[in-house]
Amino acid sequence: MLKTKLIHPRILQALAAAGHGAQVLITDGNYPASTQVKQGVETVYLNLTPGLVKVTDILDVLNKTISIESVTVMEPGEGEEPEIFLEFKECLGSEVGFNKEKRFDFYDQCVENDDLCLVIVSGEQRVYANILLTIGVV
């Protein structure tokens, strides 16, 4: 029996096969996961209903399961920084690198990304709640 809180078999399998530099994308409920990720990447749909499961719930579990070296978030073209970015930073701590990309640059990064090994689609309703994790070393 596993001691980690993470028990989803497909997520565990993808993470076990990943190494340093591999990337995991957690999307909000608005992200076009069927078209804006590299073809053939393992995709797990946890979007049971709007608002469930939240990106921050998934991030919290993954942060306790794998070493996260840095993250990239999708930022709006203008306006204030989304409040969820503060939640991401609180969950990850100050030692994790925090990068921002404009929406279409973020999409391009996910579509052309040979290091992307897993996409987890959430039911998150907050906008700009997409986060790309880079796995670090243990």
| Per-residue pLDDT of the chain in tens (138 residues, 90 and over written 9) | 567 899 999 999 999 999 999 999 999 999 999 999 999 999 999 999 999 999 999 999 999 999 999 999 999 988 899 999 999 999 999 999 999 999 999 999 999 999 999 999 999 999 999 999 999 998
Class of domain 9-135: alpha beta
Tell me, letter by letter, the H, E, C secondary structure of the chain: CCCCCCCCHHHHHHHHHCCCCCEEEEECCCCCCCCCCCCCCEEEECCCECCECCHHHHHHHHHCCCCEEEEEEEECCCCCCCCHHHHHHHHHCCCCEEEEEEHHHHHHHHHCCCCEEEEEECCCCCCCCCEEEEECCC
Q: What is the pTM of this model?
A: 0.96
The residue ranges of every structural domain in the chain are 9-135
